[in-house]
Amino acid sequence: MATFDLQYKELIRDILENGYEDTNRTADKSKKVFGKVIRINLAEEFPLLTLKHTGIITLTEEMRWIYQIASNNVEWLQERGIKIWDEWRLKDGTIGHAYGYQVGKYNQVTNLINTLKNDPQSRRMMIDLWNVADLDKMSLTPCMFNHIADVNDGKLNWHTTIRSSDTPLGLPYNVAQVAVMVNMIAQVTGLQLGELMIVITNAHVYEQQYEAIKEILNREPYPAPKLWLNPDIKDFYDFTIDDVKVIDYKYHPSIKMRVSV
């Protein structure tokens, strides 16, 4: 059952019907709601949205770019036909000291994986991209900025915080890419899959998206697809795009909407 789709549909409805409308960082007005939580049992569901097509290759490669390659160089994505970061590319080809730069600067993923293997009851298993000292060196400050791991009875649970979520465009990709990463980390640490909790401070829909996203409310979810990872991979850094596949993904058509920059 696609429980993520049901939660997503209700979130869209809540924003459109009850959201607070005001100005924001961009030139586009938006409606927003405060403090929303999405919870998914990853042992039972891979949360790839079926209410509209969500590209597994794009979201997986972006996840690898940030957390595995630990890069801030937009050219790495462009070489793979991914242009979602082009708007924030600086003259040096990077996004400044943002996202992957912070992962690599402090070896954050390696440290987390080592702690999961050697001290799984630690309360300090975290990836944090919000480095106050470097915020003015980022072309875009991180929206999905914090991840915390927790292990109960051999199950890897994961808490992700998104301070600001473009719910129609960004959220489906963020939820699925975190789920891919957690599946990978669980596999290489020998842990079972537990619960994924996504906490969103500001969930919004931009005014140019209002009419288009209403189509979501008229659609019924398909069964959730399954995620396949190459079982031979034992090191997080060895995963390539060829080691990730989605099985039985049935989805509604894409909905074209403009990104607010």
Residues 195 and 42: beta-carbon distance below 8 Å: yes
Half-sphere exposure of 101 (CA within 13 A, CB side): 18
Sign of the alpha-carbon torsion through 174, 175, 177, 182: positive
Q: Are 62 and 82 in contact (CB under 8 A)?
A: yes
CA pair distance 4, 245, nearest whole angstrom: 19
Rounded CA gap, 243 and 149, in Å? 23
Q: Which of 112, 143, 179, 244 is catalytic?
A: 143
Q: Assess contact for 93 and 75: CB atoms under 8 A.
A: yes
Residue bearing tokens 């939580």: 37
Residues 98 and 62 sit within 8 Å (Cβ to Cβ)? no
Beta-carbon count within 10 A of 104 CB: 17
In a 3-state reduction of DSSP, which class is residue 110?
A: helix
Angle at 169 between CA 78 and CA 247, to 5 degrees: 75
Q: What is the DSSP letter of 65?
A: I
25 labelled catalytic = no
Cβ atoms of 19 and 12 closer than 8 Å: no
Which strand (E) or helix (H) includes residue 55?
none
Catalytic annotation, residues? 143
